[in-house]
Homo-oligomer: A and B are copies of this chain.
Amino acid sequence: MNDKKIEADSLKKYLNLTRYTNEQYINIHPIQRGGLLTPEAFKALVHYGDGYSICDYCLKGRIDEIENPPVVDFLKDIAKFLDIDHAMPTAAAREAKRIVMEVLAKKFPARKTVIIDSLAHYTTYLAIETNKLKVREVPNSGHSEYSVFLEKYKDTINTCIEEEGNPPLLAVLTHVDYKYGNFNDPKSVGEICKQYNIPFLLNAAYSAGILPIKSSKNLIDFISCSGHKSMSASGPIGILGFSDDYYDDIMKNSEIQGNITSKSFNNKICTFMGCPPVYGAPLVTLMASFPAVFKRTQKENVSEEAKKINYVIEKIKDIKGIKILGKLPKVHPLTNIKTDCFAEVAKNHPRRGFFLRDEFKERKIIGLAPGISKEMKINTYGLNWNQIKYFAKSFRNIAEKYNLL
């Protein structure tokens, strides 16, 4: 409990909230690279910074029906981009997952379990928990590849049916995981789900906007995406893509009615609490970046980005006590590096685990987790070749400084 009194003077600390610029440092933060604004998005941000700025020409009380700026067109285009029938914005990818589970739980009340891969993001677990559902994980191969056994979705579904007498409510596959950046082709899991008639959600928070999305002949029912993570949106903003089969469940109009006023809100979508909270900067910057995101997910650029991260790995993998975790070669640039050698240095370093971040920062490279030296999660997405070479060289320099070469 606080004493509930504010001294005006104590508020000065909020008056000058500034940050380094992307020109000053090379940022390799694992969840920030895909969210860096494009120049077009930055311009849109400046224009649409005010709250509710997107609602100037709202005619229908529905953000998804705004024509100026072209939200209606954009939602159609992003659905095409995701290779799925429909798309709606959400507060974030986690909200897209929570909403899908909530909607399905209402549709299939007897089904209580969500099947997920064992590298799913923590928010996938929390979406299950908040919907009062149970989790069943699909195992992975463990150290060092941590490769999800995709074919085991079948066994896991069967076990669920046997033990619970009901099929699972939903199967979730993480397209690219947060920890090792492993890429999973959704096709085989989609086919298993179709065979058992189980709804299938692809969590593409780390991939949509970075890698091309192919829904493989309508095998995917739902897809969750993150604008601030992977689509150069200021955000936060997510996208929920969904198939025709679930249109009526997701786009469910409000039915509540006031007992005295008889007021009702039939034009509002109950699933999203009316307009999802993305008015203004989040949605406008996502739209402004979309042409660039469309371009960068074409084959040529995707293979160039893979070349970059695999180049870095090639340059550092001979350092003593370094182990690249996850599947190789990399498809997605998010990479986990086990750095036993740096953990050893940290033991006797006056700055302990912080030394590693210090060393990189001295070399104008930022984005490492503070205080952690036993593993590094990095992301090289969108760095140019000069920056890539400089990063690899700096990494070797630090290793050399501590006699690890």
- Chain A interfacial positions (CB closer than 8 Å to B): 1-6, 8, 10-19, 21-22, 29, 31-32, 34-37, 40-53, 55-57, 59, 69-70, 73-74, 76-77, 79-81, 83, 85, 91-92, 94-95, 98, 102, 118, 122-123, 125-130, 135-137, 139, 227-229, 232-236, 238, 244, 254-256, 258-261, 263, 265, 268, 270-271, 273-274, 277-282, 284-285, 287-288, 290-291, 294-295, 366-367, 370-371
Select one of B12, B44, B59 contacting A370, CB under 8 A.
B59
| Copies of this chain | 2
- Whether the Cβ atoms of A35 and B6 lie closer than 8 Å is no
> Which B residues touch A228, using CB under 8 A?
51-52, 279-280
Given the known A-B contacts A274-B94, A370-B59, are A8 and B125 also in contact in the complex, defined by CB atoms under 8 Å?
Answer: no
A10 near B77 with CB under 8 A, answer yes
CB–CB A49/B45 < 8 A: yes
Residues of B within 8 A of A118 (CB): 258, 260-261
Residues of B close to A236: CB separation below 8 A: 51, 91, 277-280, 282
Partner of A294, one of B8, B271, B284: B8
Distance A336 CA – B311 CA, assembled complex (angstroms): 63
Q: Are B12 and A259 in contact (CB under 8 A)?
A: no
Point out the residues of chain B lying under 8 angstroms from A370, CB to CB.
Answer: 57, 59
- Assess the B258–A6 pair: CB atoms within 8 A: no
| Interfacial chain B residues near A256, Cβ < 8 Å | 125-126, 128-129, 135
A282 / chain B contacts, CB cutoff of 8 Å: 236, 282
Alpha-carbon distance between A1 and B86 when the two chains are bound, in angstroms = 7
Judge whether B50 and A32 touch: CB under 8 Å. Answer: yes
Tell me whether B76 and A2 are in contact (CB under 8 A): yes
Q: In the complex, A10→B1 CA distance in Å?
A: 55
Q: Is A50 within 8 A of B234, CB to CB?
A: yes
Assess A268 versus B122: contact at CB under 8 Å? Given A5-B80, A295-B8: yes
A3 nearest CB across to chain B (Å): 7
Please determine whether B44 and A45 come into contact, CB atoms closer than 8 angstroms: no
Nearest-CB distance from A45 to chain B (Å)? 5
Q: Is the CB of A2 within 8 A of B122?
A: no
Contacts of A290 in B (CB 8 A): 11, 14
Given contacts A129-B270, A291-B14, are A45 and B45 in contact (CB under 8 A)?
A: yes
Cα A126 to Cα B277 in complex, Å, equals: 14
Q: Is the CB of B1 within 8 A of A244?
A: yes
A3: chain B residues at CB < 8 Å are: 80
13 contacts between A and B (CB under 8 A): A3-B80, A11-B294, A12-B291, A15-B288, A15-B291, A18-B44, A31-B52, A49-B281, A56-B367, A118-B261, A130-B271, A234-B281, A236-B278
List 15 extra interface pairs beyond A32-B50, A49-B234, CB under 8 A.
A17-B44, A17-B48, A17-B69, A21-B47, A29-B56, A32-B53, A34-B51, A35-B50, A46-B46, A51-B229, A52-B228, A122-B268, A126-B254, A126-B265, A235-B280
A242 to chain B, nearest CB (A): 11
Contacts of A79 in B (CB 8 A): 2, 4
A217 to B47, CA, bound (A): 42
